[in-house]
Amino acid sequence: MSTVNVKPSRSASDSVGYALYGNDKDKRTEHVQTGTDRAAAMSCSVESPWAFVARAEALARAHGRKNELYSYTQNFSPDEFGKNDRGHVQRVNELGVKLAERMHSADHLVVTHADSAGGHLHNHIYVINHDNLTGKSLQRNTSWKNGLRQANDELMQDEGCQALPSPEQAKPDWSQRREDFASGGFERILGDKVAASLRDKRSVDRAGFTEVLDEHGVALAETQRDGWTYKMRRADNGKLGRKKASELTPEFTAEGAQQIFEFHENNRPKEQSNEHSRRDEERAAGDRAELDGVESVGAYERRRHRSGQQADEGRERTEVVSADRDRGNRQGGAEGPAVDLAAVRQQVAADREHAQRVRAESRREAAAERLAELDRRSANESSSYGFGD
């Protein structure tokens, strides 16, 4: 069972950057250091996400279009697909690809997330605003009422998935609602910080949520008239800005946040158990790799000694040597030199650690270069759009 929604995007780079790295500074830094991203699964109709971005930007410039792509979110029920099941994650990603191909004859990027605040699997489906068959901008399935709901429901039925009995338009979550605000503007920056705070596993109640918000420089206030309101110092004039939660997204209201608090609280014992299992598996994998390395080197040494022994025996058949010399060769060949397994084990571990460092450094450099480019583009867009109210 899934719901779907859509928003146009004027910045392919910003949309894709958010899907891959998020906008939380600490998380972005972590991804750079580890060479990772937010994607639980990803599919792209061109060679890479950044080739996809470049194509979207080039086509928009060439045809004078304001919208570079359309951003779809496809949310699945945790009762049907579990975020910790690798097979379910891949299946959800495949359903996103099938929806993109069913809707349009256009290039697409599908990023599956398993880190939502509510704990459900969902797809970010980005489709370039260019029909490859007609050469025109996208005309169909660009709104919930204009074919999108029907296309998604038909796909669910064809794929044997649950379909909503009485479809209603899903309220946009923050990943789509942010498209309505200027890049670098007050509302988008504030919303990104609130969303990151809600995803934090420490946000199991209002008190914990408030502490996490404070780390991001955001304050939470409540009044009978407006409900929850978020406050943050503005970057343009240094004054304290505020925004009602309901004007950002229903996720940020007291009711929406409470559902996320309950999810974190209920999921905490399971997460701790999974973390212990993961660490045990990593230790076991490391032990197996080390043992494999030692055994491989030991096997090599044994083969070398056997080869030496066979060569000695061949020479014995063709050469005449003294009995003492012959006996000495056979004894030496049988014993062979001693193998220092401790030294071999240490060398194998050092080689493996060096290879891991080289790979990690390469990933960090590539991610850092791309994030720097995203930051530069965001700054340029901010200066051109201006800050929101």
At residue 196, does pLDDT exceed 50? yes
At residue 310, does pLDDT exceed 60? no
Nearest one of 206, 190, 195 to 261, comparing CA atoms: 206
Residue showing tokens 């074919």: 147
Question: What is the Cα–Cα distance from 45 to 350, expressed in whole angstroms?
Answer: 40
At residue 25, does pLDDT exceed 90? no
Q: What is the pLDDT of residues 114-160, one digit of tens each?
A: 987 667 899 999 999 999 999 999 999 988 777 788 899 999 989 99
Question: What is the Cα–Cα distance from 139 to 95, expressed in whole angstroms?
Answer: 22
Question: What is the Cα–Cα distance from 184 to 191, expressed in whole angstroms?
Answer: 11
Residue 362: CB atoms within 10 A of its CB come to 11
Pair of tokens at residue 12: 């392919």
The pLDDT confidence band at residue 106, using thresholds 50, 70 and 90, is: very high
Q: What pLDDT, on a 0 to 100 scale, did the predictor assign at position 323?
A: 46
Going from the C-alpha of 21 to that of each of 25, 32, 34, 364, 375, the distances in angstroms are 9, 9, 12, 13, 12
Question: What is the Cα–Cα distance from 389 to 378, expressed in whole angstroms?
Answer: 18
Instruction: Produce one character per residue of 177-204: b if its CB has 16 or more CB atoms within 10 Å, e if not.
Output: bbbebbbbbbbbbbbbbbbbbbbbeebb
What lies within 8 Å, CB to CB, of 104 at 6+ separation is: 127, 131, 138, 140, 141
- Ramachandran bin of 35, using left for φ above 0, alpha for ψ from -120 to 50, beta for the remaining angles: left
Q: What pLDDT, on a 0 to 100 scale, did the predictor assign at position 115?
A: 81
Higher-pLDDT residue of 348 and 79 is 79
Q: What share of the chain in percent tops pLDDT 90?
A: 41
Domain at 1-173: CATH architecture: 2-Layer Sandwich (3.30)
At residue 288, does pLDDT exceed 70? no
The pLDDT confidence band at residue 23, using thresholds 50, 70 and 90, is: confident
9-13, 325-329, 382-386: which has the minimum mean pLDDT?
382-386
Summary mean pLDDT of the chain:
79
Higher-pLDDT residue of 355 and 70 is 70
Q: What pLDDT, on a 0 to 100 scale, did the predictor assign at position 88?
A: 96
Q: What is the pLDDT of residues 60-103, one digit of tens each?
A: 999 999 999 999 999 998 889 998 999 999 999 999 999 999 99
Question: What is the Cα–Cα distance from 83 to 389, expressed in whole angstroms?
Answer: 37
Q: What pLDDT, on a 0 to 100 scale, did the predictor assign at position 133?
A: 93
Question: What is the Cα–Cα distance from 98 to 80, expressed in whole angstroms?
Answer: 18
Q: What pLDDT, on a 0 to 100 scale, did the predictor assign at position 225?
A: 81
Higher-pLDDT residue of 210 and 338 is 210
Q: What pLDDT, on a 0 to 100 scale, did the predictor assign at position 34?
A: 86
Q: What pLDDT, on a 0 to 100 scale, did the predictor assign at position 259?
A: 84
CA angle 93, 99, 105 (to 5 degrees): 120
Higher-pLDDT residue of 195 and 340 is 195
Q: What pLDDT, on a 0 to 100 scale, did the predictor assign at position 177?
A: 86
Give a three-class secondary structure readout of the chain.
CEEEEEEEECCHHHHHHHHHHCCCHHHHHHHHHHCCCCCCEEEECCCCHHHHHHHHHHHHHHHCCCCCEEEEEEEECCCCCCCCCHHHHHHHHHHHHHHHHHHCCCCEEEEEECCCCCCCCEEEEEEECCCCCCCCCCCCCCCHHHHHHHHHHHHHHHCCCCCCCCCCCCCCCHHHHHHHCCCCCHHHHHHHHHHHHHHCCCCCCHHHHHHHHHHCCEEEEEECCCEEEEEEECCCCCCEEEEEHHHHCHHHCHHHHHHHHHHHHHHHHHHHHHHHHHHHHHHHHHHHHHHHHHHHHHHHHHHHHHHHHHHHHHHHHHCCCCHHHHHHHHHHHHHCCCCCHHHHHHHHHHHHHHHHHHHHHHHHHHHHHHHHHHHHHHHHHHHHHCCCC
Q: What pLDDT, on a 0 to 100 scale, did the predictor assign at position 265?
A: 84
Contact 43, 116 (CB under 8 A): no
Mean pLDDT of 22-35: 82
Pair of tokens at residue 39: 């994607």
At residue 291, does pLDDT exceed 60? no
Highest mean pLDDT among 10-24, 63-77, 159-173, 266-280: 63-77
Q: What pLDDT, on a 0 to 100 scale, did the predictor assign at position 193?
A: 93
Pair of tokens at residue 243: 């925004």
> Which residue ranges make up each domain of the chain?
1-173
Q: What share of the chain in percent tops pLDDT 70?
A: 67
